Structure 1
Amino acid sequence: MKLPRRQFLRLAGLAIAVPAIPRVARAETYPARPVRVFVGFAAGGAPDIAARLMAQFLSERLGQQFIIENRPGAGGNIATEAVVDAPADGYTLLQAGLQNAVNATLYTKLKYNFIRDMAPVASINHENYCMEVPPSFPAKTVAEFIAYAKANPGKLNMASPGNGTGPHMAGELFKIMAGVDMVHVPYRGSPPALTDLLAGQVQMMFSPMSSSIEYVRAGKLRGLAVTSAERSEALPDVPAVAEFVPGYQASGWFGICAPAKTPAEIIDKLNAEINAGLADAKLKARFADLGATPFAGSPADFASHIAAETEKWGKVVRTANIRAD
């Protein structure tokens, strides 16, 4: 039976509109149940702190719990794989970071391709590291540290939260640019690494400021320099590494990613809510106190940042011949 043109167009219009109804409803009702945010490192470290601050804001704002699940191991790959394999419905998210950009080169047999299999949702913050030593360490400046390291090649231990983590990469970049030889000692997260640094079991660490700034302020650790291009307002008396090693700059970053094919309307809603958090005066002050800088933008902005960081740190991995094990 041939339908009259007017009736055909009306029915066609309805057919086009119907799929849009659940898409709109899905965005309006999301989240309808608790959301899990996977963090690839132990509780108490910089990724965990950033994730919990944002999760608390989102929980209060959206009326559903954003629950942090720590899945440490394999440089964050365990947590990332869990999210890659999760349903693409917005209820399983990843606290992504610099380590994900590094792992693309560091691990040759990953079960996933981060850029292909993850959807960037929103960046959260940049975080500087602080080059720290125990108070008993003889060097009191970066220049003195470099001189000491060159006089004792291969005898200094450099702690990190694990292979491929931001602090590890900051240290490797420093080794390349300063021309020093140190032994990398990876830990399962920042807390145990800091414990040994405080005890003098290791001599140096590029530590995330959020997890170590109070030790520096209390004099339990000596902050030689921060890794930002300029001095940090959180530690104004501590110089930047670049004042001694021109051109040096390294900073960690965190953001939220979701499984690929997560509906665009859910990604856009999460992006808007996270950016609202980054504009919130109370949350901004909390980040600033920890030496972190809010890093807002669109999903596309975050995607571009991840791509650029993957290229930058891939070069460091290859130059330093870093291996996953």
Structure 2
Amino acid sequence: MTDRVKRWAVSRRSAVTGALMALATALAPQLVSAQAYPSRPVRLIIPFGAGGVADVTARLVSEKLGDKLGQRFIIENMPGAGGINAARAALSAAADGYTLALFSNGTAVSVSLFKKLGFDPLTDFVPVSSMGYFDFIFVTQELSGYKTLPELIKAAKAKPGQLNVGTINVGSTQNLAAQLFNATAGVDLAIVPFRNSPDVLISLLRGDVQLAVENYTAVRSHLADKKIIAVATSGPVRTSYLPDVPTVKEAGGGDFEAQSWNAIFAPKGTPPEVIKTLNGALREVLADPELKKRALELGIEAKASTPEEIGQRLKDDIEKWGKVIERAGIAKE
């Protein structure tokens, strides 16, 4: 072999070796994240404050998820702005599975409620799995005279605009559920928004509003001491914790369904293997009898999904609540 040929062969080998090394370097992060995931703590950013239903759900699930996968799952509360700040914070992190976002039906609402989100939940994120679903409870005051939802509907039709329904702030799912109820039941209840759940219940107990739409944790103690009456639940079927209470649809409220949910999403570009690992772990964790029992005590049905199922749920709820917001004439923020 001549010196010229030898030099060419060496140069060729060096070029091939360099190309292979570059390829290995480029693929290394994906391979490590998929094969060794998780190798360090994982952040789950949630757009709610501590102590709420979403926060409690996330903490229940994260504790079990950490035990399952051998790494801590750290909850980072970032409330306010319709979940915009929390989602943007998740997007600003690397798409490697170590920063996740909690989405909810509130995320779907925000798409139509805000003029500008700065992100698209359908294209900037990929779904992982649902964590929990929970209904809202339609409650009346014991002394109001309305013991059932049909009684209240009949009175509301006889006195349009004269009966009140209390909810938390405009644009909340409770508030939009009341808007939807007016449409499906064919009534004209005056919807009165309050700053928080305690204010709603004080108003109900005083008789200022005749109906309230709230989550189970907010009304549970009052139901126990018989001060208020659950006349309907908002989901597609009766709840296991209030099995004798009919759904709104069963009680004559028309084609009504309003259910809240929480789910884990990841920034777009997160390796599919990581999504698969998380989804598989969540399926096992959310099937745990102890976790399911603790969740039910809070009015939450712990339930996993495929990424496709919760992705479709988000898409459907964006469309559903967008129509309710438009029909109600709620101004965008």
What is aligned with 2:3? none
Secondary structure of 2:95's counterpart equals coil
1:108-164: CA deviation from partner (whole Å, max 9, x where unpaired): 222222212222221112212111223333211111112333344444443334333
Secondary structure of 2:61's counterpart equals helix
| Residue among 153, 168, 171 paired with 2:175 | 168
| Alignment partners' CA distance in 2, 1:96 and 1:87 | 18
| Residue among 227, 236, 242 paired with 1:229 | 236
Task: Supply the RMSD in Å over aligned alpha carbons.
Answer: 3.1
| Residue among 69, 79, 83 paired with 2:86 | 79
Contact 1:44/1:191 (8 A) holds in 2: no
Once the two structures are TM-superposed, the CA of residue 240 in structure 1 deviates from its matched residue by 1.3
| 2:254 aligned with 1:250 | no
| 2:272 aligned with 1:264 | yes
| Residue among 138, 141, 148 paired with 1:131 | 138
| Residue among 211, 216, 232 paired with 1:209 | 216
What residue ranges of structure 1 are gaps of 5+ in the alignment?
none
Task: Give the greater-gyration-radius structure (CA).
Answer: 2
1:263-297: CA deviation from partner (whole Å, max 9, x where unpaired): 33333222222122112222223334444333322
| Alignment partners' CA distance in 2, 1:317 and 1:22 | 43
Comparing 37-46 and 268-277, the one that deviates more: 37-46
What is aligned with 2:121? 114
1:176-226: CA deviation from partner (whole Å, max 9, x where unpaired): 111223343445554664565566565433222355345424424311101
| Residue among 58, 63, 69 paired with 1:56 | 63
Q: Spell out the pairing of 1:1-325 with structure 2 (5 A cutoff).
A: 1=8, 16=23, 19-187=26-194, 190=197, 193-194=200-201, 197=204, 202-243=209-250, 244-324=252-332
TM-score (norm 1): 0.84
Comparing 153-162 and 261-270, the one that deviates more: 153-162
Aligned length: 325
Once the two structures are TM-superposed, the CA of residue 99 in structure 1 deviates from its matched residue by 1.2
Which AA in structure 2 matches 1:168?
Answer: N
TM-score (norm 2): 0.83
Identity %: 38
Q: Check 1:38–1:289 CA distance in 2 against 1; reply closer, same or farther (3 A cut).
A: same
Once the two structures are TM-superposed, the CA of residue 256 in structure 1 deviates from its matched residue by 0.8
Secondary structure of 1:115's counterpart equals coil
Q: Check 1:216–1:77 CA distance in 2 against 1; reply closer, same or farther (3 A cut).
A: farther
What residue ranges of structure 2 are gaps of 5+ in the alignment?
1-7
Contact 1:163/1:324 (8 A) holds in 2: no
Q: Check 1:74–1:152 CA distance in 2 against 1; reply closer, same or farther (3 A cut).
A: farther
Once the two structures are TM-superposed, the CA of residue 255 in structure 1 deviates from its matched residue by 0.2
Once the two structures are TM-superposed, the CA of residue 16 in structure 1 deviates from its matched residue by 4.9
Secondary structure of 1:241's counterpart equals coil
